[in-house]
Structure 1
Amino acid sequence: MTELSELRAEGTNPGVVFIDDNASKTSTEKLKRFYETAVREVLSIDDAYAIISELHLDYFGLKNKRGLIGALAAASFLLLHAKKSYDYTYELIVYRRKEIWGTLRFIEDASVWAADEATYPLVWDTVDVANKKLVLVPHSPCPVLFGIRGDSVDAIYKAYELIQAEPEERKMLFITNQGTDCHLKNTEKLWDYHSYILDGVVDSNPRTIEGGHVLFSLSVQRGNESVDCIAYEPTKGFRAIIRELRIGDEVTVYGSLKESTLNLEKIELRELNLVVERTPRCNTCGRNMKSAGRSQGYRCKRCGTFSAVKDKVIVERAIETGLYEVPPVARRHISKPLVRMRMGDKIIHPSR
């Protein structure tokens, strides 16, 4: 770790923690609580030190050692995975040769598309079909050549064999919590930098704001509060779904809260509002009535006919009920793709 860490980078504070595979039941319960807190809450380095000290764990860290938080959570997850405590997936990470770190990667695009076609849906988020982009390749000058995520080790290695790329330095298969939604929680109180599943009713029609982001307000059923929900521009076609929402639609939103705004990862349209209120028409001449004044109903200026309320009209909607997701190019690694969410009678609309 000392040799390979980029210690000059301000945010690099690496750490490593060692946990015995035969940890006691008491230790396992403490590690379970730490792991769940790490992926759903905000922890300090002191929280990690407390568990390390209490359980007498071996560890090593550099600089401010904040990496010990993630290291302890990751090691705890691996231990708990062996006890079948959580959903899990795999990622095969292929590494570049050190002498070419930071240079342009060579990966034959056509071979990646062929690998995806041969292994999807057991292997997912390799490509983004709708946006015609590769997703398995990092954008940074890091040592990773590419990573293949999926539910089947055999399918992952099949995809790997089909991909034509520059010579590798090594590859490693990891057990991960990617694609599991383990970061999401149900709770009445909402806090920034936490991720939630919220049931609610749309209480403002969506609007597009500067930058191409789409925003609407949700009245949260649990907790009796309102929260803004946003589909950012990088979510591309997902925004078209959000733009079709109407006041009164019953939805479930999945996402992370930052600055009191929920960054959407998925949305379930549970019940669509098919009733629209419109200015009433005159039964005599067929023209639209005019407002007779605030809270005074509507009157036809030509015929004098009167209506106390607006007309209610049943309309068709351009969207259907079911689960929708952001495309792979915008998906957080921990967010579960819909291809992994075939749940009973729920309707899903995968991004491909």
Structure 2
Amino acid sequence: MSSEKTKIVIGIDDTDSREGMCTTYLCALLRDELSSFAKIISDPILVRLNPTIPYKTRGNASVALFIECGDKEKVIRHVTEKIASMACLDNENTNPGVVFVDEGQFDAVKSELSSFFRRAVKDVIMIDEAKELASELDLEFHAFKNGRGLIGALSACGAMLDPEWDHTYEYLAYREKEVWDTRRKVDESSLFEADRQTYPDTWDTVDLANNMVVCVPHSGDPVLYGIRGKDASSVEKAASFVVSEPVERVCVYRTNQGTDMHLISVSSISEIEEMHSYILEGEVLSEPITIRGGHTIFPLKDAAGDVIDCAAFEPTKNFREIIRKLIPGDKVVVYGSVTENTVNVEKIKITGLAKAYDIRNPPCPSCGKRMKSAGSGQGYRCKKCGTSSVIPERTAIERDILPGFYEVPPCARRHLAKQLLRFENEDLPVFPGR
């Protein structure tokens, strides 16, 4: 065995299931275990990939570690054995992948892995492409079962090797194993205090508009809570206010959460594909309607006359009230993912408001009383005087909404959606949804 040290990037994905485990927990555990015989070089990375992928478990996250060690084979053996023992391999949708990139390969693979990472956040990538890329680049990798996790593992390696992407931070606290699958014990008032003390340097800890805690998950995974913010010191400060059950370990991740990295700008609806996310400009075609289940939907028309439905689904709560105030002719830009030919709106930019009118039957020019309808399409008639008119009375009314940016509340925020508080140098007002 050589005593020469080497740097290694380790990417891991798809070890969890909807019922339990968490790939970020496995990464935190490995970081702590590997630190006994390897040096941890930088913050671990947590990257969220395309949020529309149907194969995802919960948040479609992959992770990466950057270490320096004197025994690469020992590291590979330890990591693969830990994945084999802890991943939810009995679940048909859990298909882990792990990739190891040696520093001697960094220069040769950085560009392709970075491109792969950026595509995986926006696009749909097949398993075979990931396997082919790993083989072509001569990377050490292990695919469990069908190996779908290789997509995320390669992406996380690409993110670690490429510093040129917008990032935020998340502080994740993990539960002691004995209490997994039991109700979490976190003092809610302490989370509201953490928000008061650190917002806007941290965000999405609580939802003030709906009086809800949003940083504590409800599934059976090991995460106790997660604090998101602009840098490591801010999320650590917020966590210092939290009162909770005992914490087994914590980990601060650098992440692409809250960056809008998944969004693709398009100029027309004809460019849109299913399972992708977009920024799309258009005009409200008709008044929004609220359907069964509380979902509010309106049709958006682009410059070419093509139309697509845009939806503020029930979980977006008070955001739907903004959408319901739109009228035909309003100019808007929508931000969101497309599934079943519908845009799931995450944010909306209202750039122009159409004039609104109160339309009433016209007054009779002779007696001053309001005319009555003369029948469908036949205008109006005064029964007393016999006068008629085809033009209703139109009075301009003030709109109960302003041009600007509006977003869904924290309780409905997607991992990748950029918070309005992170928007800078905008030409329109910003109305945070908290």
User: TM-score, normalized by length of structure 2?
Assistant: 0.75
Distance in 1, matches of 2:114 and 2:348, equals 29
Q: Closer, same or farther in 2 for the Cα pair 1:308/1:102, shift >3 Å? A: same
Q: Closer, same or farther in 2 for the Cα pair 1:78/1:289, shift >3 Å? A: farther
- Indicate the larger mover: 139-148 or 276-285: 276-285
Pick one of 167, 171, 187 that aligns with 2:250.
171
Q: Does 1:232 align with 2:313?
A: yes
1:121-170 residue CA offsets vs partner (Å, 9 max, x unmatched) = 11111111111111111110101111111102111111111111122111
1:268-298 residue CA offsets vs partner (Å, 9 max, x unmatched) = 111111243735514512524636764x6x3
SS at match of 2:162: helix
Distance in 2, matches of 1:275 and 1:165, equals 51
SS at match of 2:147: coil
Pick one of 84, 88, 92 that aligns with 2:167.
88
Q: Closer, same or farther in 2 for the Cα pair 1:301/1:341, shift >3 Å? A: same
SS at match of 2:172: strand
Q: Does 1:42 align with 2:121?
A: no
Q: Closer, same or farther in 2 for the Cα pair 1:21/1:344, shift >3 Å? A: farther
- 1:257-276 mapped onto 2 (5 Å cutoff): 257-276=338-357
State the 1:346 CA deviation.
2.2
- 1:117-196 mapped onto 2 (5 Å cutoff): 117-187=196-266, 188=268, 189-196=271-278
- 1:194-273 mapped onto 2 (5 Å cutoff): 194-221=276-303, 224-273=305-354
C-alpha RMSD of matched pairs (Å): 2.0
Q: Does 1:350 align with 2:429?
A: no
Give the % identical residues: 44
Distance in 2, matches of 1:28 and 1:283, equals 78
Q: Closer, same or farther in 2 for the Cα pair 1:135/1:292, shift >3 Å? A: closer
Q: Closer, same or farther in 2 for the Cα pair 1:10/1:288, shift >3 Å? A: farther
SS at match of 1:162: coil
SS at match of 2:141: strand
Q: Counterpart of 1:105? A: 184
User: TM-score, normalized by length of structure 1?
Assistant: 0.92
1:285-327 residue CA offsets vs partner (Å, 9 max, x unmatched) = 2524636764x6x343444555555554321111111111111
Q: Counterpart of 2:399? A: 317
Q: Closer, same or farther in 2 for the Cα pair 1:23/1:91, shift >3 Å? A: farther
Distance in 2, matches of 1:291 and 1:273, equals 29
Distance in 2, matches of 1:137 and 1:71, equals 26
**Amino acid corresponding to residue 192 of structure 1 in structure 2:** E
Q: Closer, same or farther in 2 for the Cα pair 1:143/1:307, shift >3 Å? A: same
Determine if contact 1:200/1:252 at 8 Å carries over to the other structure.
yes
SS at match of 1:49: helix
Q: Counterpart of 1:278? A: 359
SS at match of 1:342: coil
Q: Which runs of 5+ in 2 are unaligned?
A: 1-82
Q: Which runs of 5+ in 1 are unaligned?
A: none
Determine if contact 2:172/2:252 at 8 Å carries over to the other structure.
yes
Q: Closer, same or farther in 2 for the Cα pair 1:267/1:44, shift >3 Å? A: same
SS at match of 1:19: strand
